[in-house]
Amino acid sequence: MDIPVVLLILRKAFFIEMVFNVILPPDWSYATARSINNNWDMVGWGYDGTTRKGFIYSSGFYTELLPPFTANAYVYDINNSGEVVGWGDDVAGTGDRRSFVYSDGFYTEIRPPGWSYVQAYAINDSGWVVGEGHDSFGIPKGFLATPEPVSSILFLTGAGVLAGRYSFKEKRKQYRT
pLDDT tens digit sequence for 86-95: 999 999 999 9
pLDDT band at 79 (very low <50, low <70, confident <90, very high): very high
What is the Cα–Cα distance from 125 to 120, expressed in whole angstroms?
15
pLDDT band at 9 (very low <50, low <70, confident <90, very high): low
Q: Sign of the C-alpha dihedral, residues 22, 28, 29, 31? A: negative
Q: Would the pTM of this model clear 0.85, i.e. be above it?
A: no
pLDDT band at 5 (very low <50, low <70, confident <90, very high): low
Q: Residue 152: what pLDDT?
A: 45
DSSP state of 70: B
pLDDT band at 39 (very low <50, low <70, confident <90, very high): very high
Q: Using a pLDDT cut of 90, give the percent of the chain over it.
A: 68
Q: Residue 104: what pLDDT?
A: 93
Q: Poorest-confidence range of 28-37, 55-64, 67-76, 157-166?
A: 157-166
The closest alpha carbon to 111, from 93, 95, 135, 89, belongs to: 135
**Contact between 66 and 107 (Cβ < 8 Å):** no
Residue 161 has pLDDT above 70, yes or no: no
Residue 175 has pLDDT above 90, yes or no: no
Residues whose CB falls within 8 Å of the CB of residue 6, separated by 6 or more in sequence, listed in order: none
Q: Residue 133: what pLDDT?
A: 97
Counting every residue, how long is the chain?
Answer: 177
Helix, strand and coil content of the chain, in percent to the nearest 5, comes to 0, 45, 50
